[in-house]
Amino acid sequence: MESTLLNQCERPTKTHYKILIMSWAGWVFDFYDLILYTFLLIPIGKELHFDDVMLSFVLGSSLAATALGGVIFGVLSDRYGRKIVLQSTILVYSIGTFLSGFSFNILSLLIFRVITGLGVGGEWATGQTYVGETFPPNVRGKYCGFMQTGAPIGVALASVVGGLLLPMIGWRYCFFVSVLPALLVIFIRKNLPESDLWEQRKKIITDETSSKSVLENETVSKIVMLLSKQHRGLFSKALILAVFDMSAYWFTYSWMPGYLVQQRNFSLSKSAMWILVTQSGGFLGYFIFGYIADHLGRRPAYSIYSVIMALGLIMITLMWDTIVIYPVIVLVFMFLVGFGTGMFGGFGSLFSEIFPTSIRNTAMGTAFNLARGVQFFTPVIIAVIAQKYGLGGGISLAALFALLTGIWIWTFPETKGKVLTVMHSELAN
């Protein structure tokens, strides 16, 4: 008798929670390492004599590198498994962040941040695929949404280190201490199983072909499969959705600390505290998104969140002078901006449900991280717009992309409660 797959269990087990916690922790420090740079922009610029456009170019390059990392590690994960690639991505982004502390000119900083971006790009999709493949379908949205709460926790940690610890230890040591997440690899290697859905597909292919040739050829064929007539339409929709949502996020946060410090005359510590307000909203938003998506469906959940985020953004940028006389009201809208970003909690479950096991991690990593790679232009666009309209003018564009996300989601089929299996048709691909 065949053993029951993890995603066929009636309810999550101890093994499920181990996978969730480690994938979540990897995502916390993944996002922490990426966003930490935005809190260190000003001191790095002062010491190394970089202007805002140069600093934005480095941030944009690290975001572009996530696209390459997502594709590379996505293919490797579908080929070699979720567990080994999850470990590899954590090591790569930890090393890149550590090396960033040794930066001495624009080229060295650029190279080290690109290394960080490569690891960051691979970790998200691998962790989300890991969780999406192993959790029961009736709670997949909830736990994939919870996995995404690692993002606001990562930003909160970056706020503490970059806003509160920075004045005491300097920006270089902020990067040095950030190598510690690499220790997660030890626990993952010793305690986590491989995705049994991935292993089942590998075993079926090996048994039916009695040869390793199919598996060896898969590494080359993943992208070709993704762009085949069967999958390219849905992949294109997924990529556009990710571009809209990613643009909403990075137009908001790439210069948010700088916006509060330079345009609103906040101290670094006060800016960090206000960012913590947005991230408390983000944590709640991510956490609740899964429940809403599992009950109302993926599409309504995205739309609700997109409107909330857009409203908050308009109020803290274009309407700032109107509401600033009521600081509590400003903080409420900051909270709503963070809450609205909770729609990112839907990508893991949605992408797991619309793509087959054979290309799931490749599709997820490629769509999500190509979208993040496009954000190469975002920090630079904001810096250029800021020269005439201020940083708030550039950040306000995020509201438009938030609304586009809520509209575009309705081009997808509703996948709430879909059961994931290895289809026989996949084996021919």
Q: Both tokens of residue 168? A: 């005491």
Q: Is 14-189+219-428 in CATH node 1.20.1250.20?
A: yes
DSSP secondary-structure letter at 212? S
Cβ within 8 Å of residue 111, ≥6 positions away: none
- Tokens 């935005």 label which residue? 38
- 298 compared with 227, residue with greater pLDDT: 298
- Tokens 């922490």 label which residue? 32
Can you say whether the dihedral through the CA atoms of 96, 395, 326, 310 is positive or negative?
negative
Residues 340, 301: Cα–Cα separation, whole Å: 10
Average confidence score pLDDT of the chain: 86
Split at pLDDT 50, 70, 90, the class of 163 is confident
Q: Report pLDDT for 143.
A: 87
For the chain, which residues make up each domain, given as ranges? Answer: 14-189+219-428
Q: Report pLDDT for 209.
A: 55
| From 277-286, 301-310, 317-326, 348-357, the region with the lowest mean pLDDT | 348-357
In the chain, the largest separation of any two C-alpha atoms, in whole Å, equals: 73
Split at pLDDT 50, 70, 90, the class of 2 is low
- Residue of 29, 28, 58 whose CA lies nearest to 41: 58
Per-residue pLDDT reduced to its tens digit, 106-134: 999 999 999 999 998 888 778 888 888 89
Q: What is the model's pTM? A: 0.74
Cβ within 8 Å of residue 224, ≥6 positions away: none
- Residue of 96, 121, 111, 119 whose CA lies nearest to 57: 111
Under DSSP, is residue 343 helix (H, G, I), strand (E, B) or coil?
helix
Per-residue pLDDT reduced to its tens digit, 333-362: 999 999 999 998 888 789 888 888 778 877
Whether residue 286 is predicted with pLDDT greater than 50 in this model: the reply is yes
